[in-house]
A and B are shown apart, each in its own frame.
Chain A
Amino acid sequence: MARQLATNAYKVLKQLEERGGRVGLDELVAGTGLDQSQVMAVATAFAQDGWIDIAEEIRLEISLDEEGTAFLQSGASLLERRAAEALRTSGQPMTTVELAEATGTDAQAIGKVMRYLTAKGYATRAGKALQWADGADLEATQPDESLLARIAEAPSHLLLLGAEESAHAEIQEALKGLRSRNYLRSKERKFRELQLADEGKKVVQEGFEELVEVNQLTEAMLLSGEWRNVSFRSYDVTLDTTPTRPGKLHPLRRVLEETRRAFLNLGFQEIRGPYVESAFWDFDALFQPQDHPAREMQDTFYCERPGQFELPDPKMVETIRRTHEDGGDTGSTGWRYKWSEQKARQVVLRTHTTAVTVAACHKDPSPPQKVFCVGRVFRRETIDWKHLPEFHQVDGVIIDKDASFASLLGTLTAFYKQMGFDEVKFRPDFFPYTEPSVGVFVRLPGAKDWFELGGAGVFRPEVVQPAGVDVPVLAWGLGLERLAMVRYQIEDIRQLYLSQLDWLKESALHR
């Protein structure tokens, strides 16, 4: 069976066979219709297999210059030959002016060829005039003339001289003269020639044929079975492709969802509460005094529509009032001021999701319970790189007779471990509605700085006793934008809400 060769290899070998086993690269390019790099790729492969030898030679490429082109077009002979003929005819010495007249040129042109008249032995000087040199052979073709003749006949008037010939003194001399007279140009070119080696000759003798190569496997090929007769072009598997990204969740959403999953994993029940809430649930139920700075218009969004909400069951309201004013039945001194129902009725955008968890304690105070809420909260901030008027928190409470501050620390540690923070630090902190209170800090693996991510504590009796809870209630509220910023190493919180597609696309799911 004949040897099968891929298309390009087939074409090159075929040319070599047809042209007697020895072909220049240029001819191969012309003959195969391939481009030079394709031919060289095949040639290199052939040479590696020992099928061919590649010979390299520096050749001189000679082409016509301006004067040379005009000369060929005119069909006349060189001016010095025409002047010599005039001298021979006259037999007398002639001045340049006389020669110009005789040859139909001007004195300047004659002046330029004077040296060739003498150098070629046609004439001798006689004072300022020239005289026919006895014995001069006008019939003999001079080397420059024969060079011009060869160019005239060469394809496209391009003449290639091998290294040996171009080194010949006579050629060199002729070339030098013609170049200086703007008849010719010349440059050196690297010339490659492919020659069949013994191994290659054997392949040719044994016969070879073209193997059909295709880019794409098609339905037609599969239906016809044609795929058996073709070969598939090999690709460069290392080349880059156009980047493609899957549709994905927003990076902040991923943090919110991981947060939810972490608390669900810990056996928590998810709850929700309204964004638009009475000050009663946002502040008063949390024992936050009505003159607390956080309640000021400066820090909290109050609503114009709706302007106020009804308060819950009067008995509950009365308990809260007494707790604020003198501690009620909680054993506390209270805040010692006059509590206003009107202030409690004001409508705010919830400032923390603790409003949701404290309402949950009132809704169902029976232990054991673990609930959490992930949601947006609102603070009256103008937008800058550190602040947004809304952000997400996770709040949770544990209502359990065996709950303690230690189990609060344990729960938070377990939560942050699930979120990928192995290092958690606790420090005393102060909130109006928890006691003891704690600030929670985390650190990225290998990092130096601690980031405060939120506050936690055991709800004060002033908070839980009015709800009818008589076991410890652990509570926390943690900022989630902060956590996302630490996670994604974002400096500017606004980036989270600009949703730039480039960022969304490039933020990898594993991060």
Chain B
Amino acid sequence: MPVIAIPIEELNRRLGRDLTSDEMEAHLDQLGCDLDGFAKLRRYRCRPSGALIELNPHEELPGRCPETLIEGKPDELWEYLGDVDVVKMDLLPVRPDIFDAGGLTRAIKGLLEVEMGLPEYEMGAPSLEVNVDASVANVRPQIGCAVMRGLKIDDVGLRMLMKLQENLHWALARDRKLASIGVYDLASIKGPVTYTTVGREEITFVPLQTIDGKAVTPEAILSEHPKGVAYAHLLKDFQRVPLLLDKVEQVLSMPPIINSHETRVTTETTDVFIDVTGISDRVVTKCLHTLVTSMLELFPGSRAERVQMHFPGMLNLPESTVALPSMATESFVIDVEHACRRIGIDIDRERAIRLLMQMRHHAEAVEDNASQVRVTVAPYRNDIMHEVDLIEDLAIAYGYQNIVPVLVPNMTVAQERPERVLANRTRNTMTGLGFFEVMSLLLSNPEEQYELMNVEDPGDAVLIENPASVEQSLMRTMVLPQLLRLFALNRGQGLPQRMFEVDDVVVFEDGTEHPSERLHLAGGILDTQVGFSDIKAITEAIAHEIGMPLTYQAIHHPAFLEGRVAQLLYQDEPVGIVGEVHPSVLEKLRLVQPLAVFEVSLQPLLPESDLYAL
């Protein structure tokens, strides 16, 4: 999860008071932020481009500006501006509206009762138009736009704006897949703007973050530009790529990859044009609303303005013209009595209304009902789908620490699973016999399960389609191979060694839909002198204690010494194996003492499996 750093000065300035770090921590905790702590960051300015970076004190200065990709000697490239006190926390994907100084201030003001209820954001009438071409339908059909004016963007503001976009890309937009944001200097654009597609070699433009300032084709960007390479997968299925152009065919951007250099935002910029394109209508709208409202909080004195959007007939929708962003709010009715029962607190409707207002919702009593409250939710909230989501907000405002923990009053009777009872009885027997329990992973691999044991793959293991490592590519069908590995890992830890494991194996048989899970016991003794009768005695002890009379039948098995290996039978059915491990296996494990082992399935003692009853 990305860690974000919010400058404390920016917070306090907006809050109009100086919170102590304890107060700050308490508020962030109450909102559910995963606080990483308070820190001092060193702020530097890139001399050629003016871009800011903030580094931890121990971090080295980079030899390349991450924003402009300009390279240079670190000492010459960067100008030290001073230290910034920040609060660091993990970014929560469900609340991207509180992970910039503006949005977080808005939330804390509510908790402090400085400002309560729904924040009002005025939207000016459209002065810019955007035409959407039907060719985007199959590539990246969704788009929403906005204009903002009267921004005073200094270099710190520029950095905050960039971080805000990054956070939204990560938290809401699945790293630009569902939606991506572009912000441009409005002064450099001549409306109307067109959202369309072009062939990969059809045009050229100068993208951001190029050093030589050369105009290149979309194809060249996707194969050579760092941002193009990083996000090329999002366009790999399409011949034509999305593009935003203005009236004079100047390129604004190639979503979701990169903006043009010409239209970039600088510290001179006062008015901006914003676009959010994507494949999910819901996410595009949420990104746009969160971005615009957070910017209004971040840049006091700024104004937002709608954009007139002309959509063609596409995606089964008729041709339409709408002014975006809609800034539509949603309303829910919650029942305070029900909410109190669900949370386990006792508050009246007035208190509930006040708490919801603290969470920056609008709340008002429903006239003809004594218990209901109508709640209006701000357009930047992405996590309210149901009454219960507002009940959670109510509980958060009330404070989890103020809820008195109780137990449910109704009596229920405890009951253990029979597999666990049997497993524990078996473990008790083994520890009583002086064995140490080991635990290994259920995930294993063919080399361990078959090659080590000198056998062919019988084809009865559950196979993983996307293993993270070749070491874990299937579910084990036997415990013994891993037990042998553990003996190898314990080389040199004294003798004798007595180890066992009681746990599940998973066996998948052709013709059945579901694999079977079986409880197995495996054990072994490694010593300078140990043999078949030593380990057979252990299996007999187990059989006696758990009530599983076993018979023994000589067999061949390539992992065991010929003539010193027996199959275990229970009620005439094979249930396991016991014997002296073959020297060829010991050599593979680089063990230099004899090892006698056994494995037995305890499954016959258990009731028929009901694992896949549904």
Contact = CB atoms under 8 A, between A and B. Distances in A.
Nearest to A378: B443
B462 A306 contact: yes
Contacts of A275: 442, 475, 504, 506, 517
Given A272-B611, A501-B497, A306 B513 contact: yes
A267 B413 contact: yes
Contacts of B497: 501
A406 B345 contact: yes
A498 interface: yes
B431 A246 contact: yes
A422 to B, nearest CB: 13
A93 interface: no
Interface stretch (B28-36, B217-225, B231-239): B28-36
A248 B498 CA distance: 11
Nearest to A257: B424
A406 B489 contact: no
A301 B436 contact: no
A460 B414 contact: no
Contacts of A427: 29, 32, 400
B464 interface: yes
A185 B442 CA distance: 79
Interface in A342-377: 349, 359, 362-363, 367-370, 376
Give the one of A297, A310, A331, A362 with max B CB within 10 A.
A331
Interface string B405-438: 1111111111111011000100100111111111
A497 B439 contact: yes
B59 to A, nearest CB: 22
A304 B465 CA distance: 4
B403 interface: yes
A188 to B, nearest CB: 50
Given A253-B437, A405-B403, A430-B92, A272 B419 contact: yes
Contacts of A304: 463-465
A271 B440 CA distance: 22
A42 interface: no
Contacts of A332: 385-386
Contacts of B92: 430
A499 B438 contact: yes
B469 interface: yes
A460 B342 CA distance: 11
Contacts of A389: 441, 443, 468-469, 472
A250 B8 CA distance: 47
B404 interface: yes
Contacts of A409: 400, 403, 405
A61 interface: no
A403 interface: yes
Interface string A455-473: 0001011100000000010
Given A253-B427, A269-B412, A390-B442, A274 B403 contact: no
Interface stretch (B321-329, B390-398, B548-556, B580-588): B390-398
B414 A264 contact: yes
Interface string A372-392: 000010101111000011100
Nearest to A296: B174
Given A264-B414, A271-B417, A349-B464, A504 B408 contact: no
Given A257-B424, A390-B443, A500-B493, A276 B506 contact: yes
A35 to B, nearest CB: 34
A58 interface: no
Contacts of A53: none
A113 interface: no
A405 B95 CA distance: 21
A400 interface: yes
B299 interface: no
Interface in B425-484: 427, 430-443, 461-469, 471-472, 475
Nearest to A346: B465
A264 B280 CA distance: 46
A135 B404 CA distance: 126
B394 to A, nearest CB: 9
B577 to A, nearest CB: 22
A420 interface: no
Given A275-B506, A388-B441, A407-B407, A270 B417 contact: yes
Contacts of B506: 275-276
A246 B430 CA distance: 11
A398 interface: yes
B472 to A, nearest CB: 5
A8 interface: no
B534 to A, nearest CB: 15
Contacts of A428: 30-32, 392, 395-396, 400
A272 B385 contact: no
A502 interface: yes
A306 B509 CA distance: 10
Contacts of A367: 410
Interface stretch (A80-88, A198-206, A410-418): A410-418
Interface residues of A, number: 102
A412 B407 CA distance: 9
B383 A430 contact: yes
A306 B439 CA distance: 26
B404 A406 contact: yes
A71 interface: no
B408 A398 contact: yes
Nearest to B489: A498
A172 interface: no
Contacts of B348: none
B408 A402 contact: yes
Given A302-B466, A430-B92, A436 B431 contact: no
Given A312-B614, A414-B407, A499-B489, A405 B344 contact: yes
A439 B401 CA distance: 12
B508 interface: yes
A499 B412 contact: no
Give the one of B281, B404, B441 with max A CB within 10 A.
B441
A302 B407 contact: no
Contacts of A349: 464, 475
A247 B490 CA distance: 16
Interface in A407-445: 407, 409-414, 426-430, 435-439
Contacts of A359: 614
Interface string A211-240: 000000000000000000000000000000
Give the one of B412, B431, B475, B486 with max A CB within 10 A.
B412
B499 A380 contact: no
A148 B589 CA distance: 73
A451 interface: no
A280 to B, nearest CB: 10
Interface string A255-298: 00100100111111111111110000100000000010100010
A511 B174 CA distance: 44
A121 interface: no
B389 interface: yes
A486 interface: no
A97 interface: no
A252 interface: yes
Contacts of A267: 411-414
Nearest to B486: A499
A496 interface: yes
Contacts of A368: 408, 410-412
Contacts of A369: 412
A131 B266 CA distance: 127
Contacts of B443: 378, 389-390
**Lowest 7 CB-CB distances: which A-B pairs, in order?**
A406-B344, A428-B32, A404-B344, A499-B438, A410-B405, A436-B392, A409-B405
Given A246-B431, A267-B413, A461-B388, 15 more contacts: A247-B437, A260-B416, A291-B178, A302-B464, A306-B508, A327-B385, A336-B282, A337-B280, A368-B408, A407-B344, A414-B407, A428-B31, A430-B95, A499-B486, A500-B490
9 contacts: A264-B416, A269-B413, A293-B174, A363-B614, A390-B443, A404-B341, A404-B342, A405-B344, A438-B400
